[in-house]
Amino acid sequence: MHYSKLRISGDATSKLRSLRQRTGLTPNLLCRIALTMSLEEGPIGGALIPDEDGSEFNAYTLTGEYEAMFSAMLRFVEEGPNPTQSLANEELLARMRAHIHRGVGTLSVRAKSPADILRLVPAAG
């Protein structure tokens, strides 16, 4: 998956501002958490793709050194373990935006404080 910039929805941007105030985490870290939470929920598939009226992130700012890992997880969730056909780059980016949108929505309900973020991480054991 190749991109230099990714613009998220206006709704997600608004919720990220609130989450940043409540948790103290930067929007890029919150987007990473939101993306993984949404990927855990399963594929977006043919769901409505959100607007691009919100914040714009550089690729490295959004995913950092883990771009390949996020891309692989997105492909696995959206294409399945044995894909017969790969999704086009534009479609993958649209689904990534949709996952961030869905994940930020979930995160905005669950995270009222920094401690709530820690509760989202399963205990190692």
Q: Is 125 a residue whose pLDDT tops 70?
A: no
Please give the average per-residue pLDDT across 46-64, as a whole number.
90
Give per-residue pLDDT as tens, 93-123: 999 999 999 999 999 999 999 999 988 877 6
Please give the average per-residue pLDDT across 72-97, as a whole number.
93
Residue with tokens 């086009």: 88
Model's pTM, two decimal places? Answer: 0.92
Taking the C-alpha atoms of residue 30 and residue 50, their distance in angstroms, rounded to an integer, is 18
pLDDT at 73: 97
Kindly list the structural domains of the chain, giving each domain's residue range(s) and its CATH number in brackets, ordered by start. Answer: 5-120 (1.10.1220.160)
Please give the average per-residue pLDDT across 40-58, as a whole number.
90
pLDDT at 119: 87
Residues in CB range of 9: below 8 A, 6 or more apart: 50, 51, 52, 53, 54, 97, 101
pLDDT at 123: 67
